Amino acid sequence: MEDQFFRLAVALAIGLLVGLERGWRERAGPAGSRTAGLRTFGIFGLLGGVFALLSTQMEAPVIFAAGFLGVGALFGLFQFQEAGHDQNFSVTSVMAGLGVFGLGGLAVSGDHRIAAAGAAALAAILASREVLHTTLRRLSWIELRSALVLAVMSTIVLPLLPNRTIDPWGGLNPWEIWFFTVLVATISFVGYVAVRVLGSTRGLLISALAGALASSTAVTIALARMANDVAQTAPMSGTAALAGMVSILRVLVVVALLRPEILAYIAVPALCAAGVLGVAGLAFLHRGNKTQQPHELLRNPFELRALLVFAALFALVSTASAALVKQFGGASLPATSALSGMFDVDVAVLSAVRLDETQVGFPMIGLAILIALTANAFGRISLAVLAGPIRFWLPLLAGTLAAAVVGAVAFVLTMPM
């Protein structure tokens, strides 16, 4: 009996939680002018629990179904009359009422914790109307299509791929390669959407930080080209340094998600290098004219063609790394990471993370990741030399060299014996 009382209380609380949001949204209306508010939604939740309890006690699930249809029809009728009076075509309140009724039933006849979590999610969705609508207005068809591509790639294509190696060296696993590819693209896409939603009015700093989530190399090249047309390039050099810092932090996040054991070997030197780049970037950023604004520093990171190229490159590097390691041992891994890291740090890092630690060892994998980060940093400098003036890339080179030295010292001092 006590358990039933508790579950009915949860069902009532579910309705009151959703009703609080509905009532607050319509609080300005006169009393009795709205179909449902705080009390009505509370009753919906309690009714759902009562009908579920009756169905369980009488062993007749049809009772709950009849209650669900009856409440839905009655609420829908009153909402129809209100919509005609207010010229409102929204069906959100009806769906919310049905959701509360169902969650109230789940709280009594199922797992009340899942029901409570569902109620919190429902209330959050209802309260986020303005944010969601604003986001939709700012996103273009390209971003929406990219989100759909992500859904297809992760929920349809990924389960169909074989989760085993198909090459003689044990490096080509289609499922892992596609999973890592989608993971990196998703992280980059989050940064891209953040820039699209927040806009670029906050200047160089936000654009660089979010742009580096997609590609720090692309940000550096874009800034180098822009530096050709301005007299004061120190803020742009600082922005490029901050983009390099974000690139290092992003690699640490990826490693923490996939192989957290490796963090013990790379976290301290990587964070030291990122800290140096951050300090140098802020110092450069606060010099000179800070009113210049970048335009587009990043492209959509979830373009299908670029995604397929990345996956093919990742598969090639992974297979080659595994073959070299099997042929020559772990000593070949740093050279492979350096070569691939100059072109794409994600490919080099993910290829190293996927290797079998029994063959190479975590210290060698960690060293390979740090080498890839270093190679990528100086690869960006090389491209900046080709694309921009010396007054842009020389401060960036100085900051990068300082970061590399500090990171190397930290690696030597913290390397496990």
* 391-416: pLDDT as tens digits: 999 999 999 999 999 999 999 888 76
Top-ranked range on mean pLDDT: pick from 93-107, 150-164, 219-233, 342-356: 93-107
3-state secondary structure of 37: coil
Cα–Cα distance list, 1 to 7, 15, 46, 200, 314 (Å): 10, 22, 16, 59, 60
SS (H, E, C) 105-151: HHHHHCCHHHHHHHHHHHHHHHHCHHHHHHHHHHCCHHHHHHHHHHH
Least confident range from 77-91, 247-261, 270-284, 399-413: namely 77-91
| Digit-coded pLDDT (tens) for 303-349 | 667 677 767 876 786 677 667 766 666 566 777 777 777 766 777 78
CA distance 389 to 54: 78
The pLDDT > 70 percentage for the chain reads: 77
| Residue whose pair of structure tokens reads 């822009």 in the numeric block | 226
The region that residue 313 occupies, defined by phi over 0 for left and psi between -120 and 50 for alpha, beta otherwise, is alpha
CA distance 173 to 154: 16
C-alpha dihedral sign at 307, 312, 315, 318:
negative
CA distance 242 to 236: 10
- The tokens describing 130, both together, are 């303005």
Top-ranked range on mean pLDDT: pick from 278-287, 373-382, 403-412: 403-412
CA distance 306 to 308: 5
- In this structure, the number of other CB atoms found within 10 A of the CB of residue 8 comes to 20
CA distance 226 to 387: 9
Q: Residues 16-43: what's their mean pLDDT?
A: 74
DSSP of 253-273, one letter per residue?
Answer: HHHHHH-GGGHHHHHHHHHHH
The pLDDT assigned to 326 comes to 66
CA distance 222 to 218: 6
What is the reported pTM?
Answer: 0.55
CA distance 211 to 187: 11
User: Which residues lie closer than 8 Å to 322 by C-beta, 6 or more apart?
Assistant: 167, 169, 170, 171, 172, 355
Top-ranked range on mean pLDDT: pick from 129-138, 292-301, 394-403: 394-403
The pLDDT assigned to 200 comes to 46
The pLDDT assigned to 69 comes to 93
Cα–Cα distance list, 319 to 96, 229, 246, 305, 362 (Å): 51, 43, 28, 21, 19
> Is residue 363 within 8 Å of 417, Cβ to Cβ?
no
